[in-house]
Structure 1
């Protein structure tokens, strides 16, 4: 039987964070990632207030975060796909490793994503 760490490592699952300017963009990108089989699941979260530095100024914007569950092997294609379709000049596209998870969920995730 796998320990949680061994199971997550064998699947190399990652969660990708990507903020969007509005709900319509978030929905379009989430649906596209699923249709392209670059992610197994995408959560669209409630709008958040983002405060960030851009071109030397501190900016504030309401954004809609996406959490896309995918594999490390699929991340380069997911990153390219998002970067080409995202309206921001420099979109936030970062992957966080999944260090543990329910083995059945990780198996499902791995089966749903094309690598």
Structure 2
């Protein structure tokens, strides 16, 4: 958040996670972090998350926004804009 690549974050969990890893079935706890960012900051934010995450292949995905209030879109763009 301090680097302003995301305008906001929502953290939910813990959730039970069941997964395959190195050929074995595993179970553990996970937390979902939803980061609100702009298209122009998306790739830099994804790279930062991947770099700092303890897993080799963290789930980093993007969900396009089909519609939102103009004021919300402006807030996200303004908040994540690169410093001049």
Query: What TM bracket, shorter-length normalisation?
Result: 0.7 to 0.9
Partner in structure 2 of residue 59 of structure 1: 26
Q: Does 1:85 align with 2:41?
A: no
**Shift in Å at residue 101 of structure 1?**
1.0
Q: Which runs of 5 or more residues in structure 1 are unaligned?
A: 1-33
**Shift in Å at residue 114 of structure 1?**
2.5
Partner in structure 1 of residue 72 of structure 2: 105
Which aligned segments of 4 or more residues in structure 1 are displaced greater than 6 angstroms?
A: none
Which one has the bigger helix percentage?
A: 1
**Shift in Å at residue 50 of structure 1?**
1.2
Secondary structure of the 1:47 match is strand
Q: Does 1:96 align with 2:26?
A: no
TM-score normalised by length of structure 2: 0.88
Match of 1:114 among 75, 81, 84: 81
Q: Distance in 2 between matches of 1:100 and 1:59?
A: 38
1:7-56 CA-to-partner distances (Å, cap 9, x unmatched) read: xxxxxxxxxxxxxxxxxxxxxxxxxxx11111000001121111122222
The CA RMSD over aligned residues, in Å, is 1.2
**Larger RCO, structures 1/2 (Cα 8 Å, 6+ apart):** 1
1:58-80 CA-to-partner distances (Å, cap 9, x unmatched) read: 21111111000101221110111
